[in-house]
Structure 1
Amino acid sequence: MSLKILVTGTSRGIGSAILAALDRAGATVVGHGTASGIAADLADPAAPRDLWARAIDALGGDIDVLVNNAGVFEAAAIDLDHDDWVAGWERTMRINLTASAELCRLAVRHWQARGRGGRIVNIASRAAYRGDSPAHWHYAASKAGMVAMTKSIARAYSGEGILAFAICPGFTMTGMAEEYLASRGGDKLLADIPLGRVATPDEIAAIARFCALDAPESMTGAVLDANGASYVR
């Protein structure tokens, strides 16, 4: 029986690659944010619960794996008007962390009710450990929160068969990364990556597929880096 999986943020880049990788592996996958998937604006506080309910319905009443990939990377310079800076912080936290937390909670409660475990794969970022630009405090903080949340879930619920993994990509060649590389001077950024290039969405998708389908149970709580050795912990 194929696993039933919800992946958020599948309209492009890493999310689209994860959706394709899991589909090729034979899973039954529902995406969020694609024309054929479920539309939901995760900036809306009501959206995560509605997304979960519609995904459950689309997957016949059950979900085995949740992949939280949806996120935004929006600048909020320190010299912005104070209210605008706070609004940017709260929007990023709502989409990147709070919505993911709500979906994780709904998944854990679902698996507890059915009496059978499941898996969570959270796409965080190198920024969780290394930090980010002066205009992206909120992004780095949201991804650090995602890593801490993943570890907390793993520690709390592994005895119930509920496993949690986090992936921390560095720069990945998505549309979002392409814009940022161009704005920050691509050659300078690439010089900071010993591998000499940024990751591809397919590389991150391969790690996500492994965590979702094949990672041994004892790996729960693991954080996997994929940054070309630009930040080695």
Structure 2
Amino acid sequence: MSNKKIHILVTGASRGIGKAIIESLDQDNATVVGQSTKGGDRLIASDFTQDGAASGLWDEALDRLDGRIDVLINNAGLFQPNPVAADDWLESWNRTMTINLTVSAELCRLAVLHFQQRDKPGRIVNIASRAAYRGDGPDYWHYAASKGGMVAMTKTIARAYAHQQILAFAICPGFTMTGMAEDYLASRGGDKLLADIPLGRVAQPEEIASMARYCALDAPASMTGAVLDANGASYVR
């Protein structure tokens, strides 16, 4: 990309992968703002369960970034069990879809329109999951479906707008050592799950962040539409 400061918006940036992404970009010629539910240092407070959250976040990010966003990184996600017999199954399904897919889609749409209006190149990096291909446990239909939708959306954006130099990439981590995954590993018996990962360990947030940074700044244009796996060979496509 050009030598001028790259303006980047990262969602789900208060911890885990999102925080690691911001830290990885700090060493580059980039100006980054993030999103979290509660806000904080360089973080815009935005609750993705609320109507209008995506557009409100986008507008505030534009204000903080002098009216220009060059890269959108969708990392925000919800990973909570939803047993098939639960009375609030549909409510839980809709909440996960809203946070993991619908808000990401809204932000992708706003990014594409912004790139088109400026008639400048732009990049979208979507953090999906191994579950998009492999599926997930019986309590996580909603999570797998949301991440499968994110991958399909990424491919569609890449195919639709490559001629305008609007590029899109998806990253599909397996278990990554964040608070969300740690709780799940503990609840399911970590040793048994780790035995299914030939590498013998889960990914570190910094590993996923390095991939996101590459897609955001350095990946060649011909790579648009790529889906990158990072799961320790626990699922090889």
Please state which band the TM-score falls in when normalised by the shorter chain.
Answer: over 0.9
Q: Which runs of 4+ in 1 moved over 4 A?
A: none
Is 1:48 aligned with 2:51? no
Task: Using structure 1 for the length normalisation, give the TM-score.
Answer: 0.98
Indicate which of 18, 27, 39 corresponds to 2:30.
27
Per the alignment, residue 212 of structure 2 pairs with 208
Q: SS where residue 198 of structure 2 aligns?
A: coil
Is 1:220 aligned with 2:224? yes
Question: What is the CA–CA distance in structure 1 between the aligned matches of 2:22 and 2:50, rounded to whole Å?
Answer: 23
Unaligned runs of 5+ in 2: none
Indicate which of 169, 181, 185 corresponds to 2:185.
181
Per the alignment, residue 156 of structure 1 pairs with 160
For the aligned residue pairs, the C-alpha RMSD in angstroms reads: 0.6
Is 1:2 aligned with 2:5? yes
Q: CA deviation at 1:23?
A: 1.5
Is 1:78 aligned with 2:84? yes
Indicate which of 133, 137, 147 corresponds to 1:133.
137
Q: CA deviation at 1:44?
A: 1.1
Q: SS where residue 228 of structure 2 aligns?
A: strand
Question: What is the CA–CA distance in structure 1 between the aligned matches of 2:160 and 2:16, rounded to whole Å?
Answer: 32
Question: What is the CA–CA distance in structure 1 between the aligned matches of 2:211 and 2:51, rounded to whole Å?
Answer: 30
Per the alignment, residue 20 of structure 2 pairs with 17
Q: What letter corresponds to residue 22 of structure 1 in structure 2?
A: L
Question: What is the CA–CA distance in structure 2 between the aligned matches of 1:16 and 1:219, rounded to whole Å?
Answer: 25
Question: What is the CA–CA distance in structure 1 between the aligned matches of 2:72 and 2:191, rounded to whole Å?
Answer: 36
Q: Deviations over 1:150-179 (max 9, x none)?
A: 000000000000000000000000001110
Task: Using structure 2 for the length normalisation, give the TM-score.
Answer: 0.97
Q: SS where residue 210 of structure 1 aligns?
A: helix
Unaligned runs of 5+ in 1: none
Question: What is the CA–CA distance in structure 1 between the aligned matches of 2:52 and 2:13, rounded to whole Å?
Answer: 20
Q: What letter corresponds to residue 199 of structure 2 in structure 1?
A: L
Q: SS where residue 120 of structure 1 aligns?
A: strand
Q: CA deviation at 1:146?
A: 0.1
Q: Percent of counterpart pairs with the same letter?
A: 70
Q: CA deviation at 1:143?
A: 0.1
Indicate which of 117, 120, 135 corresponds to 1:116.
120
Q: What letter corresponds to residue 56 of structure 2 in structure 1?
A: D
Q: What letter corresponds to residue 236 of structure 2 in structure 1?
A: V
Q: Deviations over 1:120-160 (max 9, x none)?
A: 00000000000001000000000000000000000000000
Question: What is the CA–CA distance in structure 1 between the aligned matches of 2:124 and 2:179, rounded to whole Å?
Answer: 25
Q: CA deviation at 1:45?
A: 2.3
